[in-house]
Structure 1
Amino acid sequence: MPQPGLEEFRFDGIGTRWEISTPRALSAGVRARLLAVVEAYDGAWSRFRPDSTASAMAREPGRHEFPPEAAPLGQLYRSLYRLSAGAMTPLIGSSLEQLGYDGDYSLRQAGPPLAAPRWEDSLDWDGSVLTNRAPVVLDIGAAGKGQLVDLLGVELRQHGHNSYLIDASGDLLYSGPDVIRVGLEHPYDPARAIGTVDLAGGALCASAANRRAWGDGLHHVLNGTTGRPVSTAVATWTMAASTMLADALATALFFVPGADLERSFEFSWLTVFSDGSAAYSAGFEGTLFT
């Protein structure tokens, strides 16, 4: 989402395209630091890299030390696991692999849907230390990209860049003096928008069943209790102070009504369902086209 009059830094990382827009160009040193943050995050959490800490958990049980960002990530996942009755879980990786979204991106279903292991039976997550009692395929994609966006925002501010727009393939974190208008992508036609939202600061994230979809009815948003793709909601948008929270809640809306999530989290939201209806919070700062 290039912005007029802003300098752009574009790169690929964690399997997605990034654009960072700033009023003044980022120095070579700052760019190198941002890329290092992305590489470190990928090296810890990616289930697609055999050298990552997460991949070590898939090979054997044991005690695994992750970076400090693991603590708030684990707390958020634990809350959403409880609120969704196990439907949203970081242990969904084996279920995704079963349906073809594996480390080789084979996109070939290996068998019937497979429920994720129960967290309480398989994993202890204590701060930055994760201990698995059996091999588990960790997948923190529902909140991890958002958390990485936040970490890059911290890095920018530490180097004196207080105005910026970070766009991680549609997950946005904005800091600046103006309000920017963002289109809400149509869940069935990426070339169209179903509305707009004004972003004055903070994060805007989306999740949709048409993204990372393959095969007949197969996509990346799975119910952990069944291993099956969700079919009721087709797209969600969330606005929150942090991108990690907005990213996670955009997925949680596929399992838990927004009004219920509002009892535990401060955010605004929009959900579009497969029957064409929509629900949204009173505070959602958007306009839907008719």
Structure 2
Amino acid sequence: MTARWAFEAIGTRWEIETDQTLAPEPRERVRTLIESFDREWSRFRDDSLVARLARDGGDAPAPRDAAAMFARYDDLDAATAGAVNPLVGASLARRGYDAASSLVDRGAEPAPAWLGLLSPDGSTLTAEPGTLIDVGALGKGRLVDLVLAELAPDVEGTLVVDASGDLAVRGGPVRIGLEHPYDASRAIGVWEVTDGALCASAVNRRVWGDGLHHVLDARTGEPVRTYAATWARAAEAMTADAAATALFFDGGPELAHRWGVEWARMRTDGVLEWSAGAREGLFL
């Protein structure tokens, strides 16, 4: 790779790597795409669609990504027995991970049932006041896929879109280190990605209070305690991102297998687990 474009968006750092420097016009398209996605799905900005639904309730035209994302949530909900739920936003906010980043814990609260959130034809979102949608289980992966698709016609050679742990590659192969959750200077392995995606999640990111972090069990509103980090490699970033979330819970490995996802996860006691196709590249 010879050119890197780095910028901040949706509260995280992005790096886009290409063989040639990107022209201004595709960069502007990417900025517009990310802003549009954020204005629809961010629970951290007052002018977003999900913030308005949380304030006022009612019906709203569903964003173009809703059907694809909620179809994955159907699978996540079923596989984890309800531990992953797109209405976990209010539960996160109560623990201090709110729009103001207050980091003040007001106690655990289970997420409400989310059936009926999206109309059967995928055209309408319906929510009660106080219902706060959070698509963090797979939303960043979805946006990475959209940015990759937006740039692909303008890029010859290898293209890498990296949104701080969720990345997609066109071309390759690209070698990616799997950061150790307890020591950022170490890796638990190196995986190659060619025309695919790799997403990671860890409980050492976005940590505050007494053991609080951003991965909650929607059934209880409590942070997960068994697993410290997950890694998933798939054909697209949304699938890898969703699998990385599911792997914090029972049922995650079975869902990853059904989706054809290779994975690894580390327990909080340091024990490493992995799928059959993921062993190569791990430092065991």
Q: TM-score range by the shorter chain?
A: over 0.9
Give the counterpart of 1:270 among 249, 264, 267: 264
1:39 corresponds to 2:26: no
The answer on whether the counterparts of 1:166 and 1:173 sit within 8 Å (CA) in structure 2 is yes
Any idea what the Cα deviations from partners look like across 1:211-252, whole Å, max 9, x if unmatched? 111112100000000000000011000000110010111011
TM-score under structure 1 length normalisation: 0.93
1:246 corresponds to 2:255: no
Moved over 4 A (4+): none
Give the counterpart of 1:154 among 140, 149, 153: 149
Give the counterpart of 1:57 among 53, 64, 74: 53
Any idea what the Cα deviations from partners look like across 1:92-113, whole Å, max 9, x if unmatched? 101101110000011111x221
SS in 2 for 1:55: helix
Segments of 5+ residues of structure 1 without an aligned counterpart are none
Aligned residue number for residue 180 of structure 2 = 186
Give the counterpart of 2:2 among 6, 10, 13: 6
- 1:90 counterpart letter in structure 2: P
Query: What is the distance in 2 between the residues matched to 1:128 and 1:248?
Result: 22
The answer on whether the counterparts of 1:198 and 1:286 sit within 8 Å (CA) in structure 2 is no
Query: What is the distance in 1 between the residues matched to 2:169 and 2:257?
Result: 25
1:105 corresponds to 2:101: yes
- 1:81 is displaced (CA, Å) by 1.0
- 1:134 is displaced (CA, Å) by 4.2
Query: What is the distance in 1 between the residues matched to 2:103 and 2:53?
Result: 23
CA gap 1:258/1:83 in 2 versus in 1, 3 angstroms: closer
Aligned residue number for residue 219 of structure 1 = 213
Give the counterpart of 1:130 among 125, 134, 150: 125
- 2:73 counterpart letter in structure 1: Y
Aligned residue number for residue 230 of structure 1 = 224
SS in 1 for 2:228: strand
- 1:162 is displaced (CA, Å) by 5.7
CA RMSD of aligned residues (A): 1.6
- 1:38 counterpart letter in structure 2: I
The answer on whether the counterparts of 1:258 and 1:280 sit within 8 Å (CA) in structure 2 is no
CA gap 1:212/1:286 in 2 versus in 1, 3 angstroms: farther
Any idea what the Cα deviations from partners look like across 1:167-193, whole Å, max 9, x if unmatched? 1012110111x4222111111111211
1:28 corresponds to 2:24: yes
CA gap 1:274/1:98 in 2 versus in 1, 3 angstroms: same
Any idea what the Cα deviations from partners look like across 1:57-79, whole Å, max 9, x if unmatched? 11122111132111101111121
Aligned residue number for residue 67 of structure 2 = 71
Give the counterpart of 1:96 among 85, 92, 98: 92
- 1:286 is displaced (CA, Å) by 3.9
Query: What is the distance in 1 between the residues matched to 2:213 and 2:128?
Result: 29
- 1:268 counterpart letter in structure 2: E
Aligned residue number for residue 205 of structure 1 = 199
Aligned residue number for residue 144 of structure 1 = 139
Query: What is the distance in 2 between the residues matched to 1:36 and 1:161?
Result: 22
- 1:10 is displaced (CA, Å) by 1.1
The answer on whether the counterparts of 1:91 and 1:137 sit within 8 Å (CA) in structure 2 is yes
- 1:23 counterpart letter in structure 2: D
Query: What is the distance in 1 between the residues matched to 2:280 and 2:162?
Result: 19
Query: What is the distance in 1 between the residues matched to 2:257 and 2:198?
Result: 20
Query: What is the distance in 2 between the residues matched to 1:161 and 1:17?
Result: 24
Task: Calculate percent identity across the aligned residue pairs.
Answer: 46
The answer on whether the counterparts of 1:237 and 1:270 sit within 8 Å (CA) in structure 2 is yes
The answer on whether the counterparts of 1:8 and 1:21 sit within 8 Å (CA) in structure 2 is yes
Query: What is the distance in 1 between the residues matched to 2:53 and 2:260?
Result: 33
TM-score under structure 2 length normalisation: 0.95
Aligned residue number for residue 165 of structure 1 = 160
SS in 2 for 1:250: helix
Query: What is the distance in 1 between the residues matched to 2:167 and 2:43?
Result: 24
1:18 corresponds to 2:14: yes
